[in-house]
Amino acid sequence: MSAPDYSPDIIEKGRLLFARPFVFVKGCVRIADLPPMDKVEIAFAGRSNVGKSSLINALCGTSGLARTSNTPGRTQELNIFESTSAELRIVDMPGYGYAKAPEDKVRAWTKLIHQYLTGRATLRRVYVLVDGRHGPKDNDLTVMNELDKSAVSYQIILTKADKPSAEELKKVIVATQAAIAKRPAAHPQVILTSSAKGDGLRELRTEIAMLLES
């Protein structure tokens, strides 16, 4: 799968966008806790332990920005990060699909995520992280259904793409592209990433820079 043919100018804008420091602003457990809608927002969603925090840290070039954990369900709120000098806000959403979380907590997360997705006018894109070793699971498809229904633009990122063999990864890519082929809110380009090796970060930074430009 080939990457889009980006112009050198937009690639450089993406690099500069994430050359500036990002800082943790706060965690929000209620919609009322969110900052004013005064910046372009992008959000990261994905199953528990798909590598959201690791990808956000790699994207922003800061190892300790988003807390990483081997314990599924660690992120239980909307964690807000902002650039110190650009009009960009990153929202790290609670991981989904963790069966051992208490039922009332899962309901609270689900309600919070739904309210955020349907009521945030400045949300330009949700990046849905899918494990590159396995491809989309039922919970991933449920989130895509929600985003399609809410008419929120989203793009699939395959994480841990360095882990499977080339043949296994190819099968996952084909399955992922088939899963989004007829979805109205899905971006057609799938991004392959490895937080450990830095793969796909330039492409992701460039896509985000294009959102700020449009």
pLDDT per position as a tens digit, 37-48: 999 999 999 998
Tell me the per-residue pLDDT of 86-96, one tens digit each, with 9 for 90 and over: 889 999 998 88
Output 207 or 107, whichever has higher pLDDT. 207
Cβ–Cβ under 8 Å, residues 47 and 140: yes
Overall pTM > 0.95 = no
Domains of the chain and any CATH numbers? 8-213 (3.40.50.300)
Q: How far apart are CA 51 and CA 95, in angstroms?
A: 10
Cα–Cα distance measured from residue 28 to residue 79, given in angstroms and rounded to the nearest whole number: 6
CB 176 within 8 A of CB 214: no
Q: List, edge to edge, every strand of the sheet that includes 191-192.
A: 22-28, 78-83, 88-92, 40-46, 123-131, 154-159, 191-192
d(CA 56, CA 65): 8
Note the pLDDT tens digit of each residue in 66-112. 775 444 445 578 999 998 878 899 999 988 876 566 778 777 777 88
- b/e map of 63-86 (b: 16 or more CB within 10 Å)? eebbebeeebbebebbbbbbbeeb
Q: Read off the amino acid at residue 190.
A: V
Residue 13: phi, psi to the nearest 5? -65, -40
CA dihedral 120, 211, 58, 177 (to 10 degrees): 90
